[in-house]
Structure 1
Amino acid sequence: MSSALFSSSWYRVEQMRPALRGQARLVRHTYRGQRWHVLQDLASGRFLRLNEQAWRIVALLDGRRTLAEVWEQACLHLGDAAPTQDEILQLLTQLHQANVLLSDRRPDLDDLEQRRRKLGWARLKQYLGNPLSLKLPLLDPDRLLGVLARLMPRALLPWLGLAWLALVGSGLVGAAMHWQELSADITSRVFTAQNMLLLALAFPVLKAIHELGHGLALKLLGLSCHEMGLMFLVAVPVPYVDASQASALKSKYQRMLVGLAGMMAELAVASLALWLWVLVAPGVGKAFLHQVLIAAGVSTVIFNANPLLRFDGYYVLADWLEIPNLAQKSNQYLGHLINRHLFRVREGLQAPPLTPREAPWLLVYCIASFGYRMLVAVGIVLLVAPRFFFVGVLLALWSAWGTLGSPLLKQLKYLALSPVLQGRRALAWSLSMAFAGAAAAFIALVPLPSWTNAEGVIWMPEASRVRAAHACFGTRVLVTPGLPVRAGTPLLGCSDPELDAQQAQAEAKSAELASRLQHAQSVDRVQAQVVEAELRHARQRLADLEQRRAQLSIASPVDGIFVMPSPQDFPGRFAERGDHLAYVLEPRHYSLLTVVGQGEVDRVRSHTERVELRSVDNIDQLLAARLEREVPAATTQLPSLALALQGGGKIGLDPSAARQEPQALDSLFHFELRLLGEVLPKAVGQRVYVRFVHEPEPLARQWYRPLRQLFLKTFAS
């Protein structure tokens, strides 16, 4: 309440006899134990929320009492809690702007036209202030929703809720049962030209069902819905309905039901699509149903169900917390805390009315929603910019103004002109500049830990692989797999019928040449020298064949544990020269292969102080390692599928590449690390988190490098 009880402008309005319009509807709400009164203008659909004191004043506006009489009765009944004359004038202004106030004076047509233009400009300004979601009203869906509502008898509505629970529950069970098939090779199944076309067809239909769910819930609860159109979400047309009529519902659970109705309809469609996807044969229909599942899951989780954006989840959270205008109130509360505790404002500062345990929700929501909006805005700009450069730049500037520029300008204007800061303006400017300077100095000058994160896979050295020295047929396994062996121990026996024939032929040839040499030595010395040369060549060939025959018994290359997949299939199997047949594993000889992107490779090469590892199955255990060697050229080939998205990693595969060798979408550099210490991994092929620790540097340098690389990569021609 302001300190002045009387107003200098009161004489102008004290004889006015105001009343509420007949189109005004009253609804009583209870928020956190306090009663509030909501006035709705049925013509425009606008709402005005009044507390108990304000409603005491409004209830006296019957068109017969003058405003002076209304104030006198308010002072008589409310005592010290009675509003001042300025507060009553402010209340009348709000009623007038909400178009629910009628007076005995002649209407000012110019004022009505000015108010209409002001309302239109405010709506246009609201649309322009959010470049990522522009709305275009198209039609009135109330008649269609009425027809749909009449097709659903009210007696069946409770059973309809149970049917929805059963359907969505079965869909969740089905998704868990077929999760491997649903998520396998997700990138190549979604981000292809054909599947993206199917997604473009499925998304608007799914969103239309979503929005009709909101409208149908309103209709079933006795309200109306008079606006439906298109919302251009990142230049993509998406249907929407105006469900603001839900504010007229008394029960918060009914209001929450309206907010959840769209997601409920979407989840029901997704559940039906899942079971149809299971039943239909592979083809275009199955691919379309898969895209429906993707669209329903991503849009529901990231946008609709997220309370940090002003979509369905936001309104559901606000109703559940019983905090109307949650975003606006959280911003006001944060501003009040800054004025009171930072700028030390004591006079003229009115604290926002708060109920117990409301303040933590407001503070957390204000900070979290701002950060998430920034993240989503930057992500959407980077998504659009590579495909439409000019549009992407305009969208980036527009979003930067809406998320940073405009709020900053408002804060500067507040510091310069706000009467609340009277007498504290110099302190407010000094503290604001000091905090801004301290934050800039911290970001630009204070060294902080710096590192590069990557993923790797535990691998064995080449010496641990048991290979076929020559092409041969397997005969038997000489050592039971799983037993320790020493280097040189025979592991596998092979045979080569062609080699046997060649050896027998070489032995016969050598015996023949030995007989001819013995005869020539007694007859012709020149002929003897020729035969002797042939004999040496034949004996050399025989020695080579005997050496090859000895290699048919494949020995262990190193000490370790003999491991062989499917040893029962080895007898009779044909192996080419160099084929992998088995492994001899020794954890002390394991290495680690990791890949680093082109943007981070220079820092990993030149500025790495140490390397830290954490295995996926034991994230709390820190392993030591050192940088052993680097493959100097960039490549798209991955050392293991475990590093790809399909294997649980973070690297996307090129769907157009051959399936035999996994190919990454971007070029990568391979590094080999040598494990140190006594704690060693036990599983080959295990994925490991790798951190290359660099020298400390300020945040400005740490942020500048990836932003510059991201900009160059995004806008490169």
Structure 2
Amino acid sequence: MSENLFSPNWYRVKALRPQLQAHISVQRQDYRGLIWYILDDRITNKTHRFNAVAYQFIGQLDGSKTLEQIWNESCDVLGDFALTQDETISLLAQLHQADLLQSELAPNLTELLQRQDDATKSHWRQRFTNPLALKFGLWDPDAFLQRALPFVRWCFHPAFYFSAVVVIVLGVVLASMHWQAISLYTQQQATDPYSIVYLILLYPIVKFLHELAHGFCARNYDCEVHEMGVSFLLFMPVPFVDVSSVNRLRRNRQRMLVGAAGIFTELFLAAVGLFIWLAAEPGVVKDAGFTLLIIGGVSSLLFNGNPLLKYDGYYILADGLGIPNLFQRSRAYLVFLLQRYTLGLRQTNTPASGPGERPWLFSYGILSVAYRIFLIWFIALLLLDINYYVGVALAAWMLLTQVALPVFKGLTFVISSPQLQANRRRALAATGLSTCGLLAILCWLPLPSYTTTQGVVWIPEESQLRAGANGFISDLYVRPNQPVMADDKILSIADIELVSRTDVLRSQLSELNTQYQSQWGVDRVKTANIKAQMKVLAKEITLNLKRIKAMELNSPHSGQLLLTDGDDLPGRFVRKGEVLGYVLTDAQPLVRVVVSQADAGLMNQNTQSVQVRLSSQAATVHTASLERATPQATVELPSPALAREYGGPIRGHAQANGTVQALEKIFTVDLRLPETASTARIGQRVFVRFDHGAEPLMSQWYRGLRRTFLRRFHA
């Protein structure tokens, strides 16, 4: 036998006769073809999972045999697969810490009280460790669920499942058919203050029903549910229910149904909300139905259904794959790979136990780490937008706990861990080389650098036909889509009050002229006064004639006439400056792009190429050329479509006149589309990428971080 089979501390425990607590029950479960044993503590409502080797030892803890006898029998049965004495001691410590054991020794009351106090402190410490995900238990719903279950048991009948699935599928079909209307209504609701009221009122109700669905489904399988409360994810209240007792269920399908009950409920409510929105007349009911659709559809899929977050989707995935504790074991597997193949720690054991687990543990570990980094960065920026001091404090906390502490623990392990005593040099060399390689990639390896933004297909100002004054369109001299020449009269705008006022002024001027002629040479003072009045009237008449002339809209140059409303223009009231049409030439249209102040300098100094994608042909990339850039910053957006509320990149707010202004100063850049972009339509959204060549990631990150602080803190 190996020399590691025995332990110098074995004499301290070999004479003990421990046994499992009387309230512990054992469940046998199959995970990916391997048998595992679940020790179910009914008092604490906790479950503990052990493999067959460990349970071969645990199953004999009935108080009739000493540890020495049990260990010797295990060695006879399992041979080389038996636990070593050190592993046996560790297993006993784990069972003792979980309060699963009793022995012939008198219990140490002080120790028991201390362990209970430590467990309570650990429970609350876990809930307050992450200030972005606080949890507060408020209610033990088990008695209520037991009493109410008979009234809702019909919800778990296969006929109801089938009917609900039909409703959800029908909702998906209708949503795809009315997708454009849903998108437009979403944009309208984004600027409607009443939508916040509907959200505040309906969100807790939907989430409460979501958690009740979990609780009833767990109780339907005789699993106890003893905690329900509220958690604050990013300071947003989200109800939760503890259904960890479902781990004792033997069948994966049952555990998956409990995990999916909440999502299923929200999707059903979303479908009902869609039906209400489509059928109801505009008003409170229609808006409430749409809010129900958004809450049930978006939150259930993006948050609860996301397997990279430890919500319903994660537990469904873990049970579906048959890999319990997927999150912890995937992280442990990545650590195992680093220790085994980088640090040379050959004696470490892999967390992968079942067949086919390794690819899942590796891929989920990589994806969850990458997603966590992205989420931390996103949350930091979001909090910086809300409050400077809170944002900086929480960003520093996240960097400390998610970056600095893991790095410190890793370095401490490499430098001082007894496990690496035999190959410390290799571990230090591998760590040093890996660090140098990472720094080389970050600081020296040139990688593509680019900036993305959006714009709209734009017609130059000189080709736009704008109303010169307020008024009604009286005459249309050229039909739409017809060729016109320079200075051709296109339409005229009638301002009846202005014309009437001009006629009155002319009459007054004629009357004054008559008086002037009659008083000439008779009364010099009166004649001078009349002449002064005539000059004022003549000046006002001249100004009015210029205004009337401006109401005649002429073609600025030769081209093809395009009017916004075509034949419906006559009789329509227009405001001064309103775009009524365009005179298009053979030249390719422009794309007017909005650029933030932080990005303007980089694009003006170091832009090597510009690529654009039309929203109607997002898969096709066109190369555009820079036409001009505005030298001054402005807050006027070329189109409301470029505001963030309507899917654009710029934060803006609507004005009383229907326009949208940016909250921060922006610059505009005009790009000339190539001839290949012949399908471009005026006002169409365009996705733009400015390529700046290649530079190391560290330079790009530094510039991005600096831009962020310049924009958010005016640093």
TM over 0.5: yes
Question: Match of 1:450?
Answer: 449
CA distance in 2, matches of 1:185, 1:153: 37
Asked if 1:708 corresponds to 2:703, the answer is: no
Q: Which residue of 2 aligns with 1:632?
A: 631
Distance 1:105 1:570 in 2: 98
Paired residues for 1:346-357 under 5 Å: 346=346, 348-357=347-356
2:666 partner amino acid: L
Partner Cα distance (2:105, 2:551) in 1: 112
Change (3 A) 1:88 1:487: same
- Aligned with 1:654: secondary structure? strand
- Contact 2:457–2:686 (Cα < 8 Å) also in 1: yes
Amino acid at match of 2:706: R
Contact 1:599 1:706 (8 Å CA) reproduced: no
Which residue number in structure 1 is paired with residue 295 of structure 2?
A: 295
Where does residue 601 of structure 2 map in the other structure? 602
For 1:476 and 1:349, the matched residues in 2 are separated by 86
Question: Cα 1:667–1:285, aligned 2, differ >3 Å: closer, same or farther?
Answer: farther
| 1:683 aligned onto 2:677 | no
SS in 1 for 2:314: helix
Distance in 2 between residues matched to 1:672 and 1:620, nearest whole Å: 22
What residue in structure 1 maps to residue 429 of structure 2? 430
1:599 and 1:713 map into 2 onto residues whose CA distance is 7
Moved more, 123-132 or 596-605: 123-132
User: Cα–Cα, structure 1 residues 156 and 5, in superposed 2: closer, same or farther, change >3 Å?
Assistant: closer
- Native 8 Å contact 1:474 1:574 kept in 2: no
Q: Could you say which residue in structure 1 is the equivalent of 2:527?
A: none
Task: Give the 3-state SS of the residue equivalent to 2:130 in structure 1.
Answer: coil
| TM superposition shift of 1:334 | 1.1
Task: In structure 2, give the amino acid aligned to 1:360.
Answer: P
Give the partner amino acid of 1:9.
N
Instruction: Measure, in 2, the Cα distance between the counterparts of 1:226 and 1:605.
Output: 62
Of the structure 1 ranges 460-469 and 635-644, higher mean CA displacement relative to structure 2 is found in 460-469
Q: What residue is the counterpart of 2:375 in the other structure?
A: 376
How far residue 706 of structure 1 moved from its aligned partner, in angstroms, is 2.6
Alignment pair present for 1:261 and 2:293: no
In structure 1, the residue matched to 2:327 is 327
2:249 paired with 1:249: yes
Report the residue type matching 1:650 in the other structure: P
Which range moves more in the overlay, 228-237 or 332-341?
A: 228-237
How many angstroms apart in 2 are the aligned matches of 1:371 and 1:184? 33
Q: Structure 1 residues 153, 193: closer, same or farther in 2, change over 3 A?
A: closer
User: 1:679 and 1:133, CA in 2 relative to 1: closer, same or farther beyond 3 A?
Assistant: closer
Tell me which residue corresponds to 2:131. Answer: 131
Partner of 1:271: 271
Choose the corresponding residue for 1:694, options 672, 692, 695: 692
Kindly tell me: are residues 246 and 587 of structure 1, through their superposed partners in 2, closer, same or farther at Cα, counting changes over 3 Å?
A: farther
User: Quick one: structure 1 residues 193 and 613, their matched pair in 2 at CA, closer, same or farther if it must change by over 3 Å?
Assistant: closer
Q: TM-score, normalised by structure 1?
A: 0.84
Amino acid of the structure 1 residue aligned with 2:101: L
- Match runs of 1:381-530 below 5 Å: 381-465=380-464, 481-482=480-481
On the 8 A contact 1:24/1:42 being kept in 2, the answer is yes
For 2:579 and 2:218, how far apart are their aligned partners in 1? Answer: 67
CA-CA distance at 1:105 after TM superposition: 2.3
| Aligned amino acid, residue 590 of structure 2 | S
Gaps of 5+ in 2: 507-540
Q: 1:641 — aligned with what?
A: 640
Match of 1:658 in 2: 656
Q: Gaps spanning 5+ residues in structure 1: where?
A: 507-540
Are residues 1:214 and 2:214 paired? yes
Moved more, 175-184 or 456-465: 175-184
- Give the Å deviation of 1:304: 1.3
- Which residue of the partner structure matches residue 239 of structure 1? 239
CA-to-partner distance for each residue in 1:574-611, whole Å, 9 max, x for gaps?
98998766543234252221111111112222333333
Moved more, 317-326 or 295-304: 295-304
Other structure's SS at 1:664 match: strand
| TM-score of the superposed pair, with normalisation by structure 2 | 0.84
- After superposition, the CA RMSD in angstroms is 4.0
1:256-303 CA-to-partner distances (Å, cap 9, x unmatched) read 111111222223333333434445554555544444433333432332
| In 2, Cα distance between equivalents of 1:108 and 1:578 | 88
- Give the SS at the match of 1:136: strand
Provide the residue aligned with 1:520 in structure 2. none
Contact 2:28 2:250 in 1 (8 A): yes
- State the match for 1:81 in structure 2: 81
CA drift at 1:488: 7.2
> Which SS does the other structure have where 2:429 is aligned?
helix
Q: Which amino acid aligns with 2:269?
A: V
Which is higher, the Rg of structure 1 or of structure 2? 1
Distance 1:14 1:492, change over 3 A: closer
Instruction: Name the CA distance, whole Å, in 2 between partners of 1:393 and 1:678.
Output: 47
Shift of 1:185: 5.7
CA distance in 1, matches of 2:595, 2:272: 42
Q: For residues 29-68 of structure 1, what are the structure 2 equivalents within 5 Å?
A: 29-68=29-68
Change (3 A) 1:192 1:496: closer
Shift of 1:254: 0.8
* Deviation at residue 115 of structure 1 after TM alignment: 2.5
Moved more, 70-79 or 181-190: 181-190
The 1:573–1:111 alpha-carbon spacing in structure 2 relative to 1, beyond 3 Å, is closer
Query: Per-residue CA shift, 1:669-700, capped at 9, x if unaligned?
Result: 11222345666554333322222222533322
Equivalents in 1 of 2:424, 2:151: separation in Å?
Answer: 63
Q: Per-residue displacement from partner, 1:9-30 (whole Å, max 9, x unpaired)?
A: 2233223222222211111111
CA distance in 1, matches of 2:162, 2:588: 60
Aligned-pair CA distance for 1:646? 6.4
Tell me if structure 1 keeps the 8 A contact 2:31–2:354.
no
2:587 alignment partner, SS class: helix
Cα pair distance change 1:2/1:231, threshold 3 Å: farther
**Which residue of the partner structure matches residue 314 of structure 2?**
314
Is 559-568 or 17-26 further displaced after alignment?
A: 559-568
Report the Cα offset of residue 573 of structure 1: 7.3
Instruction: Give 3-state SS (helix, strand or coil) of 1:593's partner.
Output: strand
- Name the structure 2 match of 1:517: none
**1:22 match: secondary structure:** coil
Which deviates more from structure 2 when the two are superposed, residues 570-579 or residues 697-706? 570-579
2: CA distance between counterparts of 1:424 and 1:712? 48
Given that 2:259 and 2:312 are in contact with CA atoms closer than 8 Å, whether structure 1 keeps it comes out as yes
Report the CA distance shift for 1:483/1:281 in structure 2 as closer, same or farther (over 3 A): closer
Which residue number corresponds to residue 7 of structure 1? 7
Q: Counterpart in 2 of 1:530?
A: none
Q: Is the 8 A contact 1:472 1:494 kept in 2?
A: yes
Secondary structure of the residue aligned to 1:600 is helix
Q: In the alignment, is the contact (CA less than 8 A) between 1:588 and 1:680 conserved in 2? A: no
* Structure 1 contact 611–625 (Cα < 8 Å) conserved: yes
Relative to structure 1, is the Cα distance of residues 690 and 333 closer, same or farther in structure 2, using a 3 angstrom cutoff? same
Q: Report if the CA contact (8 A) 1:613-1:689 is conserved.
A: yes
Q: SS of the residue aligned with 1:350?
A: coil
Match of 1:107 in 2: 107
Q: Which residue of 2 aligns with 1:538?
A: none
**Partner Cα distance (2:389, 2:155) in 1:** 56
The DSSP-based 3-state class of the residue aligned with 2:4 is coil
- CA shift, 1:216, in A, is 1.0
